[in-house]
Amino acid sequence: MNPLARPSWSRFFEDFHCRECGGQEAYRSRPRGFFEKYVLPLLLLQTVRCERCYHRAYAWYTIPAPERPPSEPKLSESETPGGSKSDGRVA
């Protein structure tokens, strides 16, 4: 057998595929509740979230799922760049 060839079933433990949208990028999701915090690690599973559709799922620990980078804070309408800063008062 060619050392570069892998059986198709081994990709199940190495690649993430979202069941909702078919996306292949996932980020870690914070565990919710007792089951996800304590039982899933015993089963070698982690909680992940799809990058495209944000569907939560469980994936093997062998699948790389980096921490999601922090999002930039959203600006409110009164703090738009280049605009005047008002506190919502009308003269």
pLDDT tens digits, 46-69: 999 888 888 888 888 888 877 877
Cα 2 from Cα 28, distance rounded (Å): 34
Predicted structure pTM score: 0.59
Q: Are strands 56-60 and 26-28 parallel, antiparallel or unpaired?
A: unpaired
Cα 8 from Cα 55, distance rounded (Å): 24
**Residue 42: its H or E element:** helix 40-42
pLDDT at residue 35, rounded to an integer: 92
Torsion of CA 75, 80, 81, 85, to 10 degrees: -120
pLDDT at residue 17, rounded to an integer: 79
Mean pLDDT of the chain: 76
pLDDT at residue 43, rounded to an integer: 92
DSSP 77: G
In the predicted model, residues of the chain with pLDDT beneath 50 are: 1
Q: Name the residue with tokens 């980078």.
A: 69
